Amino acid sequence: MKKLLKILNKTFFIFCIIFFALFSSVTGYIFYAINTIDKKEIQILTNPLATEIYDVTGRQIESFKDKNKEIIPYEKIPQYLIDALISIEDQTFFTHKGVDYKGVLRSLINNISSQTRQGGSTITQQLVKNLILTNEVSLKRKIQEAYLSYQLEQEYSKEEILELYFNRIYFDATMPGINYAAHRFFNKDVELLTLPECALLAGLVKSPSLYSPFKYIDRANERKNIVLDKMYELNYITKLECDLAKKTHAKEFVIEKGSNLEEKNYNYQAYLDVVYEEAEKITSYSPFERPMKIETYLDTSLQHYLDDVQSGKEFEFHDNLTQIASCVIDNKTEGITALIGGRNYNGMRLYNRSYHMYRQPASTMKPIFTYALAMEYLNYHEYTMVEDEPYTYPKSNITVHNADKKYLGEITLTDAIGYSRNTSTLYTLEKVIKKIGEDKVVDYLKSINLMDNGTFSYPYAIGGMTYGVSPINLCNAYSILPRNGVFKKASTIKKITLLDTNEVIYNHDEESSKQVLSKEASYLITSTLENVRKNNYLNINQAFPTNINCVGKTGTNAYDKSTINNYNFPSNADKDSWFAGYSLNYTIVTWAGFDEPIKGEKTYFTYNDARRKYPKLLFNSIMKKCEIKEQNFAKPDSMIKQDVVVCKEGTFLPNTYVPKQFLKTITVKKENAIKEVLKAPSFNVINNIEPLYLDKEIFFSLPEINNDVYSTFFGNKGYYVTYHDLDFNSETYFFETNEFFIPLKHDIYAIEIMETYKENVDIHGSLFIISTY
């Protein structure tokens, strides 16, 4: 027995130690979480400050004081609306002290025992979470939320808390506040709201996007009815009121989207919508909830022009089906100065195609990815010879073709980019991967933010990704080329200061930059694209303004076969048309395409479709507004230009045999300068030839012809044959074979034979003469 008591005592002692340690740890963590709360947090809720946004010149372009309009006092909030909110969100609101501990326990048990999720936050906690804390999901944040809720309940009455809630919480995904929501959905003042309208608004709090009556009217109506049933269950309304309100479908009183906002002037709104999203992503605070001073890179003049473009005032569109997007980046600051979110972009926080849309970038990937790496690691230059033949992906039986289903054989890199040859790009990528490895290729894509959330594969070379990229991402990647290979994440925001604490929490100037490509490789891509422009491949000059030095690349993305079959589209139907380009000071990406295919509608491009040209035309018009004339790209001091002979055998310095018109100017690093001179042409030695004399012809069998590099310039080699008669008359023939016949004439006295080129007989081998007289 004593032994048992001893064991029990020891066990109890250990238990006490463990319990004390756990209690101390939990208590300590709670104190830690509470002590890390900013002392000014509570004041944020009632702070009269509001977010202000400034353009690149420092001029204020927006203040949320103006946007939120009137703050609705508690006395003007309908009782139906208060009762509806209490019923669906926090039934014990008027009795708890900030946290409903029974509700938290009930929620916890439900979440453990059921597949459905149930929240336990009170109205006070929701207010604190949305207006003070971040969206971080952690024990620390929940402790801070509970503590701040308790503190808030000590300082403010229930009515004051409800007033704050109704004026600061989102009922619509675009803008917080009951006043905004009442006018947006019903076009009426808050105090005039009816029971069905109040129930619908209270139901939206759970998820303004999920239950949006503009997008999901039936879903919003079902949610409204759930609120009404709760109100009846808690005796806030009668059975008759509940039934009548449920019979009134939401579509009967929700106005048509935008009909109450037609008079509103949405200046620069596509740009501002990206500012809102970036501000929240950077700070974890919504600028609608936390007062901020946001300094942006917005060029209001340019953005005003782009607003006019998307609305059709400055650009002619051929239909209402085609959508557009664009992004403009200042190469010096990596600031986004203007953008297009889509056609007819009239409203706040809409689907912004420059920021939200992800599409396959198609052939715009070729210069910024494969060929940039080839310049970097394979010492390619503007006229390096590359293959254009059918290509099969490694370890597969999938063969890739060019868009025109044709192949040009050995071509220059300038031709490969100018004619946008898919196979040449893939052959080049395979060589890059063999040289540096796939991991390094993926690292490069990640470094320029062009690696999507899928896995890497060879189709990346021609823009084939799992999810694609946004126009902003593609523009950001291209900007490394005029920036000498330096990448810095682009942003609309230059600086953010929290107005309630006067703390600068973001400064884009201090964001890190990284050298992801050498300045030499960057310049080589630019030089190659300049050659493409100079030769106007595929009419690319349509994209470039006169007297402005800029370059770029097109890209066209096709619909997949299943979509073509399902929608009865032509076999060559394309869904995306891109143009990515840059000048010394600006990088611009433009896109045109379709949000989704529509049966019976021409939501596709064909080869000669005028709409397909929109991106080039948009680039042209935007660049005219941006760039100063004749701003040239600077060649790095480490590089030289050389006039060389380029052929499939290699790149050589010219000799005296090569005319100037056949020379190409390439750019190379000084240490990689071409030193080998092209060898002089060589010819067969013709001697001891015995022709065969026939009745009316003479047959010659000469040494076999071997064409060489000069054949590229002067045509194939062959035998130049001249015969003379006694009257000093002569006739000449050119044969590209080594065996041939010439007519036999009785008065021929001499035949001259020499090996030469078809189009340049001044370069030839030794002369062989046969006398027949």
pLDDT of residue 742: 87
**What is the rounded average pLDDT of the residues 124-147?**
69
Which of these ranges, 31-35, 130-134, 515-519, has the smallest mean pLDDT? 31-35
**Residue where the block lists tokens 């340019």:** 302
pLDDT of residue 500: 86
- 648 neighbors 565 (Cβ within 8 angstroms): no
Name 407's Cβ contacts closer than 8 Å, sequence gap at least 6.
Answer: 388, 389, 390, 423
Position 271 pLDDT exceeds 60: yes
More confident residue, 17 or 23: 17
- How confident is the model over 173-192, as pLDDT tens digits? 878 889 989 998 999 999 99
Name 88's Cβ contacts closer than 8 Å, sequence gap at least 6.
Answer: 202, 203, 205, 206, 226, 227, 230
pLDDT of residue 15: 59
More confident residue, 104 or 582: 582
Q: Rounded distance, CA 97 to CA 151, Å?
A: 9
Q: Rounded distance, CA 595 to CA 358, Å?
A: 11
pLDDT of residue 343: 96
- The chain-wide mean pLDDT, for the chain, equals 88
pLDDT of residue 26: 47
pLDDT of residue 12: 54
Position 474 pLDDT exceeds 80: yes
The 10 Å Cβ neighbour count of residue 682 is: 11
User: Across the strands, what pairs with 558?
Assistant: 574
pLDDT-derived band at 11 (thresholds 50, 70, 90) equals low
**What whole-number percentage of the chain has pLDDT above 90?**
68
- Residue 464 in tokens: 């084939």
CA distances from 309 to 246, 326, 340 (A): 45, 11, 9
- 124 neighbors 146 (Cβ within 8 angstroms): no
**What is the rounded average pLDDT of the residues 367-384?**
97
More confident residue, 645 or 120: 645
Residue 94 sits at the vertex; the CA angle it makes with 90 and 95, to the nearest 5 degrees, is: 100
**Residue where the block lists tokens 């790009």:** 425
**What is the rounded average pLDDT of the residues 404-419?**
94
DSSP string, 177-199: SHHHHHHHHHSS-GGG--HHHHH
Closest CA to 750 of 729, 734, 720, 719: 729
- How confident is the model over 660-704, as pLDDT tens digits? 989 999 999 999 999 999 999 999 988 888 888 888 888 999 999
Q: Rounded distance, CA 173 to CA 192, Å?
A: 22
- Residue 145 in tokens: 């939320």
Q: Rounded distance, CA 540 to CA 273, Å?
A: 33
**What is the rounded average pLDDT of the residues 86-106?**
81
Position 726 pLDDT exceeds 80: no
- How confident is the model over 427-453, as pLDDT tens digits? 999 999 999 999 999 999 999 999 988
Position 43 pLDDT exceeds 80: no
- 406 neighbors 415 (Cβ within 8 angstroms): no
More confident residue, 157 or 134: 157
**What is the rounded average pLDDT of the residues 467-496?**
98
Length of the chain: 773
- 736 neighbors 711 (Cβ within 8 angstroms): no
The 10 Å Cβ neighbour count of residue 267 is: 13
21 CB-contact burial (10 Å; exposed 0-12 / middle 13-18 / buried 19+): exposed
Closest CA to 550 of 471, 624, 448: 624
- How confident is the model over 542-580, as pLDDT tens digits? 999 999 999 999 999 999 999 999 999 999 999 999 999
- 84 neighbors 199 (Cβ within 8 angstroms): yes
Position 316 pLDDT exceeds 70: yes
**What is the rounded average pLDDT of the residues 628-633?**
85
CA distances from 323 to 174, 271, 604, 611 (A): 22, 17, 11, 10
pLDDT of residue 629: 82
Position 345 pLDDT exceeds 70: yes
463 residue type, one letter:
G
pLDDT of residue 65: 72
pLDDT of residue 20: 54
pLDDT-derived band at 149 (thresholds 50, 70, 90) equals confident
- How confident is the model over 590-601, as pLDDT tens digits? 999 999 999 999
β-bridge pairing 748-757 and 292-296: unpaired
Q: Rounded distance, CA 171 to CA 182, Å?
A: 9
Alpha helices in 365-518 (DSSP H): 365-366, 372-377, 413-418, 422-436, 438-447, 471-478
Position 386 pLDDT exceeds 80: yes
Position 32 pLDDT exceeds 50: no
Highest mean pLDDT among 31-35, 69-73, 654-658: 654-658
